[in-house]
Amino acid sequence: MRRWIGFLIAIALGAVLGLLYGWVVNPVEYVDTTPDSLRMDFKTDYVLMVAEAYQKEGSLGLAARRLALLGDASPAELIAQASLSAVQLGYSNLDLSIMQKLADDFQTWNPNLEEPAP
């Protein structure tokens, strides 16, 4: 019985020391990550920020370049996924309409007619 108690104490001590080392002494540091590694709720926030910036700036090319950071999907697909997530997360109607405006504008967007990037 004494051996089992010693074994369990050793396991518990190892777990505590491992967690202490991983969380306090040498925690993981994320540096220079891209938006495509974000969770879906943060990607939705990012798409909303792109839509708000587009509302102010009016450049679909710039919005497309910003959305390209979220992955290989087309801007329309990214906005559609984010819109579904926004509805599930309870975004305001104003936020949803801003995202919908960006999606609508991408339906008729021709990247060949866009002005070159500065």
Give the chain's radius of gyration (CA, Å).
23
* DSSP one-letter string for 32-93: S--GGGS-HHHHHHHHHHHHHHHHHH--HHHHHHHHHTT-SS-HHHHHHHHHHHHHHHT--H
Q: Considering the domain boundaries, does residue 71 fall inside one?
A: yes
Summarised one tens digit per residue, pLDDT across range 55-82 is: 999 889 899 999 999 988 888 899 999 9
pLDDT in tens, 82-112: 999 999 999 999 999 999 999 999 888 777 6
Query: Are 98 and 40 in a shared domain?
Result: yes
| Structural domain of 86 | 35-108
Residues 18 and 63 in one domain: no
Q: What's the total number of domains in the chain?
A: 2
Residues 51 and 72 in one domain: yes
Assess whether 100 and 46 both reside in one domain: yes
Residues 46 and 83 placed together within one structural domain of the fold: yes
Which amino acid would we find at residue 71?
G
Residue written as token pair 């202490």: 20
pTM for the structure as a whole: 0.70
Closest CA to 95 of 51, 53, 38, 41: 51
Whether residues 25 and 47 fall in one domain: no
